[in-house]
C-alpha cells in the first residue's frame, strides 16, 4: 500500500477537484457584490503574497515524492518502497524558513488565495467556503499526524510557531532575534 498511497491520494484529490469544479461551473451564477477597484487591487496583492508563501512552503519538498510518483516508480522497478505509510523518506520536522513563521504555509496560502478572491458571486462564495474548510480540515489532520510522528518535538513546535497567523509568527521570529 505504501507504494501507491501517496499517488492514489494525489489522483483522488485531482479527480474530486475536477468533478467539484465541473458541478459548480454547471450551476447558474448570481453576482453578489463588486468591491471598489482599490479593494480589488489590495485583494490581488494578498493573493500574490499567498503564491509566494506557497512557493516558500513547497520549496523543501521533492515534487516526485510529494505526488507519489517516485514511490510508485521505485516500487515498480525494485518491488520495494522505503519511508513511512505514505512512502515519504524525509525524517524530522521542517522548522526553518517559512515553517519557522507558520506551521502550515501551503494551507495558509490556499486559504489566503480563496479568501481574497475579489469576485463575489453565489458560486464563488460556496467554492470559497468549501476550499477554506478543506484547508483547515487538512491542517488539523496534519497536526494529528505530526503529533503522532514527532511527539514532544512537534508539541514544542506547536507552542512556538502559530498554525496560520504568519504575522504573529513574524513578530515572534523578530522578537527571538533581538
**Secondary structure of 74-125 in HEC code, one letter for each residue:** HHHHHCCCCCCCCCCCCCCCCCCHHHHCCCCHHHHHHHHHHHCCCCEEHHHH
- CB burial string 141-162: b at 16+ within 10 A, e below: eeeeebeeebeeebeebeeebb
Of 18-27, 50-59, 169-178, give the range with the top mean pLDDT: 50-59
The phi and psi torsions of 84 (rounded to 5 degrees) equal -80, -165
Residue 26 pLDDT class (50, 70, 90 cuts): confident
Q: What is the pLDDT of residue 89?
A: 61
Q: What is the pLDDT of residue 134?
A: 92
Across residues 137-159, what is the average pLDDT? 93
Q: What is the model's pTM? A: 0.86
Amino acid at each position: 500500500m505504501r507504494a501507491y498511497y501517496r499517488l492514489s491520494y494525489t489522483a483522488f484529490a485531482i479527480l474530486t477537484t475536477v468533478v467539484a469544479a465541473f458541478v459548480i461551473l454547471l450551476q447558474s451564477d448570481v453576482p453578489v457584490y463588486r468591491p471598489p477597484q482599490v479593494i480589488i487591487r489590495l485583494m490581488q496583492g494578498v493573493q500574490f503574497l499567498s503564491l509566494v508563501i506557497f512557493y516558500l512552503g513547497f520549496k523543501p519538498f521533492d515534487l516526485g515524492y510529494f505526488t507519489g510518483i517516485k514511490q510508485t516508480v521505485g516500487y515498480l522497478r525494485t518491488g520495494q518502497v522505503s519511508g513511512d505509510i505514505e512512502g515519504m523518506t524525509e525524517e524530522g520536522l521542517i522548522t526553518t524558513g517559512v515553517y519557522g513563521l507558520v506551521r502550515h504555509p501551503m494551507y495558509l496560502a490556499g486559504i489566503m488565495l480563496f479568501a481574497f478572491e475579489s469576485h463575489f458571486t453565489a458560486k464563488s462564495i460556496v467554492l470559497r467556503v468549501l476550499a477554506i474548510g478543506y484547508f483547515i480540515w487538512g491542517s488539523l489532520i496534519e497536526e494529528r499526524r505530526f503529533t503522532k510522528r514527532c511527539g514532544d518535538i512537534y508539541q514544542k513546535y506547536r507552542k512556538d510557531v502559530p498554525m496560520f497567523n504568519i504575522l504573529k509568527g513574524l513578530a515572534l521570529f523578530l522578537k527571538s532575534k533581538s
